[in-house]
């Protein structure tokens, strides 16, 4: 048996050699074509050509997923996040079908937030949880301690900032700043 990945409409075999089997069809031109994505399975004994479907189906972004994203815009009422990657609850990768998400002010922290600009800056990398996926967009939260900024950049010189006693500090220019820091912020 020969194994080759095909897509719908891909040529599988010639009808002169094989008849169409499962997930395959014979066209007017006398060739056998695939009906779905899968692997070609040619049975020389029975002279059939079929397509065995691929078992793995990609999963898309869903409620409860954890995303990593880059802050693109900080407004008074929300933060616009460009999603870099996403994982389900079991840490399996997910397909991101919408590249941007919003983080509303009410979902940014467990305490009252007067100014989102104090918690997030453009260019910061953050980890957030998906609370809602609709046809209009994706909504995120960083209310939990393990969520928030995982890589902050200095607003003056754009170098990564280090965390010292709960405050971020740029070692290059000396600027101090605060953010909604994730519990696993790596630069300490």
Distance CA 90, CA 88 (A): 5
Q: Quote the distance between the C-alpha of residue 152 and its chain's center.
A: 21
**Domains identified in the chain and CATH numbers:** 5-53 (2.40.50.100), 66-177 (2.40.50.140)
Phi, psi of 30 (to 5 degrees): 90, 10
Which of the listed ranges 39-43, 102-106, 110-114 does the model predict with the highest average pLDDT?
A: 102-106
Cα angle, residue 168 at apex, residues 119 and 145 outer, rounded to 5°: 55
Q: What DSSP string runs through 98-152? A: -SEEEEEGGGT-SS--S-GGGT--TT-EEEEEEEEE-SS-EEEE--STT-EEEE-
Q: What is the pLDDT of residues 132-168, one digit of tens each?
A: 988 888 999 999 999 999 999 999 999 999 999 888 9
This prediction has a pTM of 0.68
Q: Give the H or E element holding residue 175.
A: none
Of 4-8, 29-33, 164-168, give the lowest mean pLDDT range: 4-8
Distance CA 19, CA 48 (A): 5
């Amino acid at each position: 048996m020969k194994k080759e990945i095909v897509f719908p409409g891909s040529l599988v075999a010639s009808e002169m050699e094989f008849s169409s089997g499962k997930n395959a069809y014979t066209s007017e031109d006398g060739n056998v074509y695939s009906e779905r994505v899968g692997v070609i399975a040619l049975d020389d004994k029975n002279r059939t050509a079929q397509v065995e479907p691929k078992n793995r189906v990609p999963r898309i972004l869903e409620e409860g997923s954890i995303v990593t994203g880059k802050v693109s815009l900080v407004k008074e009422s929300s933060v616009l996040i460009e999603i870099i990657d996403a994982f389900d609850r079991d840490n399996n990768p997910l397909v991101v079908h919408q590249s941007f998400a919003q983080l509303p002010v009410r979902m940014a922290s467990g305490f009252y937030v007067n100014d989102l600009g104090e918690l997030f800056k453009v260019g910061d990398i953050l980890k957030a949880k998906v609370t809602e996926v609709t046809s209009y967009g994706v909504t995120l939260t960083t209310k939990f301690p393990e969520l928030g900024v995982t890589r902050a950049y200095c607003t003056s010189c754009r170098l990564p900032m280090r965390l010292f006693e709960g405050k971020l500090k740029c070692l290059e220019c000396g600027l101090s700043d605060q953010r909604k820091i994730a519990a696993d912020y790596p630069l300490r």
